[in-house]
A and B are shown apart, each in its own frame.
Chain A
Amino acid sequence: MVTNIKATEDKNVSIKREAEEKRELCFKDEKCIGCGICEQICPLEAIELGPVGAIVRGEVDASKISIDENKCVLCGMCSVVCPVEALDLIIDGKQIKEIEEYPKLIRSITPEYDYCVYCGACDTVCPQDAIKVMRQLPERAKLVTGEIEVDKDKCISCGMCEDMCPAEAIYLVKNIPTSSNFEIASDIVVDKDKCVYCGICKRICPEDAIKVVCKVCPYGEYEIEEAEVKGDLILNEDLCVNCGWCQETCPKDVFVVEKPFEGELIIDQEACQGCKTCIEVCPCNVLSFPKPSEPGEIADKLYKDEKYCIYCGACQNVCPVSAIEVKRSGMNITPIKSKAWQKAVESLKETLHKPKTKAESGGK
């Protein structure tokens, strides 16, 4: 009889069946966001979502889902609907996303690299650290032109120019006075790579020892080459959850993001007790504790920024007091011919199951 073979490596799981075809389901825990969509769609109830809240908070060291190899038949439904490709069914060495017959969840991030000015906003906001911006700025000295001269005979080493210089371009070489050499500085130095010829040193100098001319002011910028900022925008699509933070934040419209699901996120402010589990679990930084905008105002307990929500349902599953409801109204998926698959995918639009409390599952 054909049976499944399970292999576990760290928190990753692989379930294999080898006969007429070779099928292998691979689960990668580091990609998993603990949303439970796999558990919801599995036609054989072979997948069980773990205590995701406690796992994400570092209080339990376990895999976010467990798969019963005696129940799993390697149909691939979980793999198709997983919004982060943490589950992957491979048939005869080919991932099912490469096999035409299988439906595919449509989600994407398309950067227009040419538009990027390397401002770094996306890098700052991305909740999954999927974007890195690295830039090389031009040398400051090439963007200014002028002359500066210090008359060292007049200089009394007072250091006011050093204190005032906004570019840290002028400094005294300090000397500890002794009976034989009572100078408090041995030299005064101008770093021409840093100086922008602003003239503050000249204006503050009590002895008129500094002369500065900025050539840009009287003659214009014709002598200055254009400032060229080079850089790299590095996107790791494996980490991207298509939340849309980059798209919303980018001032240059570099990113176009397609989300896998549509829906509605409903928070019951009365029921919420502010335990913060949902905030820590949400892969998209949608949820936060609001601050009152003025003293005395009573703010909501939980704030949502729904434009970043992918309706994965992770928050609803971990909420211990059922204060969150995720209503999935649309699935962005390629056409499906099989009736059973249509029905299964359609079922994800029904109200998400509430995680069973111990009372409901028989108090075990």
Chain B
Amino acid sequence: MPKHILSGLNYLAAITLRREGYLQKDIAKWLGMDRSTVSHYINGRNISLDSIETAETISKFCPHDFLQMTNVLTKDTGKTRIIVKTLMKRKFNPKIKDSCIGCGLCVDTCLMKAAELNNLKAQIDSNWCCGCRMCESRCPTNSIEILEV
């Protein structure tokens, strides 16, 4: 079953990325699939509807659960990042307060690799932030606030 859910997520991510105008070969590379599989998905030779439905439900979970579940299924943070970024419909605006001491725990925690340090202060890329709030909960000085746009 987990394999089928992962196929569902890959399917959804592949068709979304194609719709956004990306090339089949790039999509195959990012998601770690054969180009032929990507082609099957895009040409409507679907996997089971159940898998797609389950994947759709997962993508609508709260961002933290969606991210963690995807990561457990892919076992690869690179693929997790692409799937979550592609399928996450909600937008988040991370704010860093001046109390940030630049310890880098958020950088180490963020599975989306959205966080980095700049002049001893964290910086979170809103393009990649999936709203999981793991950084917010790990921050030792409560300096991160993730607001939904």
Contact = CB atoms under 8 A, between A and B. Distances in A.
Contacts of B121: 337-338, 340
Interface magnitude class on chain B: 20 to 34
B120 A17 contact: no
A337 B119 contact: yes
B101 A43 contact: yes
B16 interface: no
Interface string B89-108: 00000000011111111011
Contact of B98 (A17, A21, A43, A339): A339
Contact of B140 (A19, A44, A102, A336): A44
Contact of A341 (B102, B107, B109, B117): B102
A340 B119 contact: no
Interface string A89-102: 00100000000011
A77 interface: yes
A340 B108 contact: no
Interface in B102-149: 102-105, 107-110, 113, 117, 119-121, 140-141, 143
Nearest to B118: A101
Contacts of A43: 101, 140-141
A341 B109 CA distance: 22
Nearest to B104: A21
A5 interface: no
- Majority SS of interface residues in chain B? loop
A76 B100 CA distance: 13
Nearest to A338: B120
Nearest to A22: B108
Contacts of A20: 104, 107-108, 110, 113
Nearest to A23: B104
B108 A21 contact: yes
Interface string A74-92: 1111000000000000010
A20 B100 CA distance: 18
Q: Max chain A CB contacts within 10 Å: which of B103, B105, B110?
A: B103
A20 B101 CA distance: 17
Contacts of A74: 103-104
Interface string A30-55: 00000000000001100000000000
Contacts of B99: 339-340
A69 to B, nearest CB: 13
Contact of A21 (B107, B141, B143): B107
Contacts of B100: 338, 340
A73 interface: yes
B105 A2 contact: yes
19 contacts: A2-B109, A19-B107, A20-B110, A21-B104, A21-B108, A44-B140, A73-B101, A73-B105, A75-B102, A76-B102, A76-B103, A337-B120, A338-B100, A338-B119, A339-B99, A340-B98, A340-B121, A341-B120, A344-B101
